[in-house]
Amino acid sequence: MKTVIVTGASRGIGLETAKLFAEKGYRVYALSRSGQCETKESIIPLRCDVTDENEVKSVFGRIYEESGRIDVLVNNAGFGISGAVEFTDEKQAKKQFEVNFFGCFLCCKSVAEYMRKNGGGRIINISSLAAELSIPFQAFYSASKAAVNSLTLALANELRPFRISVCALMPGDVKTGFTDAREKQEEDGGVYADVIKKSVATMEKDERNGMSAVRIAEAVVSLAERKRVKPLSTKGAQYKAIAVLSKLLPMSAVNRIVGMLYS
């Protein structure tokens, strides 16, 4: 039985991904800060704070001892903040990177040794289309996901000799609890108040009308089971089209269009 680790698996994309892997016959370790997950026979919920290196090392070591192998790692843990760069609290900005980027880094770092022992494996990082199209008033979320993409590309080359493949999936709008969990930075003395409210309302409307978490889970499992994967990919025809257009058009034009949509 192949073993997969899914972080941020207590709800949303992580939960649906864990469930689908279990249905496919994988032994699934569902990691989250709460240690809670919808239980199935082949889903094992474990508490793990991905920002704590010692805890990540301990949990990954335990999983390897119990299962004897780690075949797939899905780095899904993450959250979002919104607000103007000028008025974003430094601690919140750092927290955004601690979870979204450094959590991903620590899990990749910890799993590499075990995948080498297996003779290979696959790491799938959940990024975002916002990594390619930086969204106003979500600068730090976009930046953290862009950093995940850069980590993915570098790591893919570093681990290729060990038959460990690394890729990132960049979803567009997805309907999950992520929207309501977004931490909003709005104390700016009213300088940006109206435009922030409009921008965030637009984002939240798009998310609530977005793809289901199940569709993203299906894409993740598909990436896990393919022989070869692209380092960066997205899900959904409209989001693929947006990604292509963002490469073809001048960056100034792309950025201006994004600004018009979210300002």
Could you confirm whether 142 is annotated as catalytic? no
Alpha carbon distance 48, 24 (integer Å) = 24
Q: Among this protein's residues, is 128 annotated catalytic?
A: no
- Choosing from 64, 141, 192, 262, the catalytic residue is 141
State the catalytic residue, choosing from 127, 128, 142, 199.
Answer: 127
* Residue 141 bears catalytic tag: yes
Active site residue 198: no
Look up residue 18 and give its two tokens.
């864990």
What does the buried/exposed string (b/e) look like for 183-215 if buried means 16 or more CB atoms within 10 Å of the residue's CB? eebeeeeeebeeebeebbeebeebbeebbebeb
Query: 26, 42, 110, 145: which is the annotated catalytic residue?
Result: 145
262: DSSP letter: T
* 70 vs 64: CA distance, rounded Å: 6
Instruction: Return the DSSP state at 71.
Output: -
Q: For tokens 């993203």, what's the residue?
A: 216
Query: Which residues make Cβ contacts (< 8 Å) with residue 258, sequence separation at least 6?
Result: 133, 134, 135, 136
Are β-strands 183-185 and 232-234 bridged in parallel, bridged antiparallel, or unpaired? unpaired
Q: Considering 2, 10, 26, 82, which one is annotated as catalytic?
A: 10
Nearest residue to 72 (alpha-carbon basis) of 34, 27, 102: 27
**Any idea what DSSP says for residue 175?**
E
By annotation, the residues acting in catalysis are 10, 127, 141, 145
